[in-house]
Structure 1
Amino acid sequence: MAATATALAVLTACGGGEDTSAKGAGGKPVTITFWGWAKGSKEVVDAFNASHTNIRVTFEEIPSGNAGGYAKISNAVKAGNAPDLVSIEYPSLPEFVSAGSLQDIGAHFTEDDRKKLLPQAVDLTTLGGRTWAVPFDATPQVFYYRKDLFARYGVQVPKTWDEFRAAAEKVKKADAKARIATFFPDDPTTFEAMAWQAGAQWFKAEDDTWKVDTTDPATTKVTAYWQGLLDAGLVHNNASFSPEWTGSLKNGGTIGYLGASWGAGVLKGTLPEQSGKWAAAPMPSWDGKPASGMLGAPPSP
């Protein structure tokens, strides 16, 4: 499986096909092409086409970004036959901007449009004071837990990370083989999101250069916390979405999942026999107030 990440719609610099402005002027529907891979994109396009008569969107599904989609987009831009819209992950947007592959769409993305969207997502599509994309998706972290097993073990849903550790200790005491969650050693994005939640900013532009810092106090705090859980044997240590992780969920050896908003789909597809046993809660935070990093999107075939 190739892991896709949060996607957004982007206007490319070298749209291919017919002159859409001429078609619009002639009274015919404007036709635009859209390449993407996020699940549900085709259904969104179908609904859009059914509700609009002056614009027609032609959708083509492509592989997720790092699984070949980005190479396809880059090659199409170089060849001069790129689509009008593409899906690009937030972390990959700067690369396409610096390569000159995208158009500044600020003139078409009004302040009223911005107010309707998550400010943090808008910030991720604004580089150098210009707007290069429209946020298409945002994926906050979510804590999923087995309602039945939490009740059986007398565990309350944790609101803080201190409460999470206490809950982890209670789960282990109630069932020596069970753990409240799993740490994914192969998935830096989950750890990155938790550091982000704590206030870390690993990189930023400063004086025309990139400033990178992964030793800040927030990251150090998150690192020490999870190392403590691992050293105490309070969480499992399995590769993300591995057979070991899946098997542990199936047999009740893991009764919680620190995932993202798309995680419900993962659980539904992986554990259909446990339908109705899982519930979603906000991620624990350091002070009990709502806070979340964003965490990509689900694995897809």
Structure 2
Amino acid sequence: MVGVRDLDPSASPLDYYGYELRRLREAAGLKQAQLGDVIYCTGSLIGQVETTKRVPTRDFSERVDAALGTDGHFSRLVGLVLRSVLPTWFQAYAEMEARAAYISTFQAQLVYGLLQTEDYARAVLGVPTGGDLEANVAARMERQRILDREIPPLMWVVLSEAVLHQEIGGREVMRNQLAHLLALRSREWVQVQILPFQAGAHVGLDGSFTLLRFDGDPDIVYTEDFVQGHMTANPQALREGSLRYDHLQAAALSLEDSAALIARVMEERYGHQPAPDGRELA
């Protein structure tokens, strides 16, 4: 078992976080259980974070900062920790995504990661075996913080209608996810269109893809296969991706009709339905 005294704080953001948590906790004269009592968790959890057995969440970090008076030290550090939890091949994309001024994406099977609810993300990320599920969920939620920046990226999302019908995590999770998509209409910088089944064959049949545009840097097109993701700034690939996206937007429902379809699927497919005895089923 790794002990805190064996940690190399330069080995990774997680090692540095554990090292700093122990150092500053001891400087405050607190045992693990005492700090746990203050931030409403167990001393065991404190020890697991200090020895890198558990990945800290942002909520945990904010409570530690408040308890130890560390002026946001852990709240700043946890972003690096959660970024490091992402698959190695995905980290470069996540960094570019966080810097993008404009994000346009077509998703054929799932709600785009930046728009997923926590429960939906947990259901999606829980399908593969192995890894720390809660850490992966926390990392996905951390990515979404770019939407709360003072100047967030402009985002235009086209979802296949299949995304609305593919039940991920159960009916309640899907109902809440679709409600979340509708709630995003209050954010003028996030626009969601639905590509309906009636569109028939379309240029997105090859799969999902994302275009990232930057202020002052080359644009990027990103695709994924079942092994890893691929980013390129190749002008021909960008031209092809942009043209495909334009066609998908043109074939998709209007913003108003898209919202109406989301609401209809939410109520008809995932809404409360009466059981044979007349009682409602969740």
- TM-score bracket for the superposition, by shorter chain length: under 0.3
Q: Greater share of strand residues, 1 or 2? A: 1
Q: Greater share of helix residues, 1 or 2? A: 2
Task: Please give the TM-score of this superposition, normalised by the length of structure 1.
Answer: 0.26
With a CA cutoff of 8 Å and minimum separation of 6, indicate the structure with the bigger relative contact order. 1
